[in-house]
Amino acid sequence: MNKELKILAIIIILVGITYWGIEPYAHSKMHPHHEPATFKYEDLKPLPLKGDAKRGAQAIQNNGCTGCHSIKAAGIPAPMDPVSASASYGVNPPDLSNIAALIDKKFLANFIKHPVKAFKLEHKFGANRPFPMPDFFGSDQDLADIVAYLESIAKPQEPRGAFETACGRCHNLRYDKWTVIGPKPKFKNEVEKADFELKKAKYEANLKKYLGTTPPDLSMFIRSRGPEYIRDFVENPQKLLHGTAMPRVGLTEKATEEVIKHLEHVGDRKKEKREKLGPWVLAYFVILSILAYLWKEKIWKELH
C-alpha cells in the first residue's frame, strides 16, 4: 500500500508539473500580463459644471443631436431606417433613451465633446477621414445639461438590453437570433426573409466599409475569450488588441457585467445545469469508490 501511494504521488507530481507548464505557464507567455480594467477612464477630465435636465431637453434639440439620433423615450423617432443610416454614417447611430444607464457619465460628456478621442480611434479617423459625429460646438453648460437630461430619462438595463444598445449595432449574436439591424423576426414567407437578409447584407457591407473589417459574431465569445478578457477588452480595446477598429465605448463596470451576463446566457446556456449536475455525479463516484474498495478488500483478504 505504501509503495502504491508513492507511485501515485510521483504520477501526480509529474502530471502536475506538465499541466502547469502547458496551461498556466505557457498561456502567461502567450498572452502577456495586462492590468485589469478599472473603468475609471482616467485619461478623461470630468466636467466641472452641474447640469440641468430641463434645459438639457431643449439643448439636445438646439445642438442638432436629434438630427441623427432617436430618443424613443421622449417620442423622438429615428430620422432614417438602420440601412439608410449605415449608408450615410457607416453605422446606425444609437437611440439615446437609455444610453446614460450604460455609459460612464464622465465618458459620455467627453465623448460628446471629442468623439474620436474618447473612442481612442485617432488612428482611424482624422482630418482626412472625418468621424461621422462632429465635435461638440455648444457651450460647456449645454453639454452638462444634455448629460443631465440623458441621465434623467435613462432606465436601468437588463443584460439583453445592455448588449443590444452597447454592442448590437456592430455585432451579430446569431445564437440569440440578434442581427446588427435588430432581432431576426419570424418570417411569414420567402419574400420577407429575402428582404430581411438583403437589408442585413447591405448594413453589414456599409459597416465593413466604415470599420475596414467585419466585426465578429459574439455568440461563442464567452467560451473563446472568457469573461475576464471581455471585461478588460471592452474597457480599453486598444490595450489588448492594438490598432483594432473597435472603439472604447465607455461602459460602466455594471453595464459591462450585464453584457457579459448576456453573452454567458447565449454562449454557455447550460452552465447552470452543468454546475447543478456536477456534484451529483461526483458524489455517485465517491460512493462507488468506497463500495468498490470494500469489495476489493473482502476479496483480497483471503489472498495474503
Q: How far apart are CA 121 and CA 139, in angstroms?
A: 24
Closest CA to 46 of 119, 118, 99: 118
**What distance in Å separates the CA atoms of residue 39 and residue 111, rounded to the nearest whole number?**
15
Q: Is residue 185 within the footprint of other proteins (CB under 8 A)?
A: no
| 281/196 Cα distance (integer angstroms) | 46
Number of residues that bind other proteins (CB under 8 A): 49
Place of cell 455525479: 281
Only segment of 60-68, 96-104, 119-127, 267-275 that touches other proteins (CB under 8 A): 267-275
Which position among 54, 223, 228, 272 is part of the footprint of other proteins (CB under 8 A)? 223
Would you say 23 or 43 has its CB closer to other proteins?
23
Q: Is 295 one of the binding residues for other proteins (CB under 8 A)?
A: yes
Query: Which residues lie closer than 8 Å to 263 by C-beta, 6 or more apart?
Result: 163, 218, 221, 222, 230
Binding status of residue 127 toward other proteins by CB under 8 A:
no
Question: What are the distances in angstroms from CA 138 to CA 47, 114, 124, 145?
Answer: 14, 12, 25, 11
CB of 217 to other proteins, least distance (A): 8
Where do we find the cell 492594438?
242
Task: Name the residue among 24, 41, 78 with its Cα closest to residue 236.
Answer: 41
Q: Which residue has the cell 423576426?
A: 185
Of the candidate residues 126, 130, 134, 278, the single one contacting other proteins (CB under 8 A) = 278
Regarding 201 and contact with other proteins (CB under 8 A), the answer is no
DSSP assignments along 64-92, one per residue? TGGGT--BGGGTB--SS-HHHHHHHHSSP
Using CB under 8 A, pick the residue from 126, 134, 183, 226 that binds other proteins: 226
Stretch 23-52 residues interacting with other proteins (CB under 8 A): 23, 25-26, 29-30
Least distance from other proteins to the Cβ atom of residue 220, Å: 4
Identity of the residue, 139 or 213, whose beta carbon is nearer to other proteins in the bound complex: 213
Cα–chain-centroid distance for residue 283? Answer: 37
Contact status: 274 vs other proteins (CB under 8 A): yes
Residues that bind other proteins (CB under 8 A): 3-4, 7-8, 11, 14-15, 17-19, 21-23, 25-26, 29-30, 174-175, 216, 219-220, 223-226, 267, 269-270, 273-275, 277-278, 281-282, 285-286, 288-289, 292-293, 295-296, 299-300, 302-304
